[in-house]
Amino acid sequence: MSIALEYQDVSVSYAEGTNKVLRSITLSFEQGERVALVGLNGSGKTSLLLATVGLVLSEGSIIVGGTRLERKTLAKVRAQVGFLFSVPEDQLLFPNVLDDVAHGAIRSGLTHDSARKAALAVMSELGVESLAHAPLHSLSHGQKQRIALAGALVTNPPLLLLDEPSAALDPPAKRKLAQYLTTLTSTLVIATHDLEFAERVCQRYVLLDEGQVVRQGSDLAEVSEKWT
């Protein structure tokens, strides 16, 4: 098995001289693995995902698909990653839903027609194809989240980093998303509070507490309510 993502002694602080919000993170994820990143509010889940694509500065080594994250490899690393922000507004750029989902595919070299087809196919898997021509501002939070996710998935990136993907979804939408995510061949790292969702999708968990990995394993039942 090859390693899809690796952290070697990674630390993060948001400003020089302030406390580290992540300390000595050493982890490694295999190709195709689906891992839940769990932990209380403020434990550092979002910071770790952001650091992985260089949106937050880190010390130590982050290696994505064999490429160490550095200023000069930033574009190469980002091209391998599909990212879902916990606030979908942060990543929706176009007024039209279909254009928004398709733009990554166009940038990766597909024609407009093929990109739109690919976009509609992913939107259909997520149950939002009927929104293709809706104005973005008219959508609910859960709908926006699935549109943003479709945009992250449309290029079929080898690594998916999803921040609270189930947070705004109703139970049927959650089940549909969980089922779909298990069909993907990408490596998945999902930051979530939603243990039931994590259990449906992930084969492994990593528990963060106050910026450190305090536990990891394959049985999410070990992670009690007190940790999420």
Ligand X SMILES: Nc1ncnc2c1ncn2[C@@H]1O[C@H](COP(=O)(O)OP(=O)(O)O)[C@@H](O)[C@H]1O
Residues of this chain that bind ligand X (CB under 6 A): 14, 21, 39, 41-47
Report the residue closest to Mg ion, judged by CB: 46
Q: Write the CA distances from 121 to 80, 115, 129, 173, 185, integer angstroms.
A: 20, 10, 8, 16, 16
Query: Which one, of 175, 201, 177, lies nearest residue 187 by Cα?
Result: 201
Nearer to Mg ion, 46 or 58 (CB): 46
Give 8's Cβ-side CA count (13 Å radius).
9
Residue 21 binding: pick among Mg ion, ligand X, none (C-beta 5-8 Å cut-off by kind): ligand X
Nearer to ligand X, 139 or 206 (CB): 206
Side chain identity, residue 137: H
Q: How far apart are CA 59 and CA 8, in angstroms?
A: 9
- Binding-site member from 4, 10, 37, 46 for Mg ion (CB under 5 A): 46
Stretch that binds Mg ion, among 37-45, 99-107, 148-156, 193-201 (CB under 5 A): 37-45
Nearer to Mg ion, 34 or 45 (CB): 45
Nearer to ligand X, 20 or 175 (CB): 20
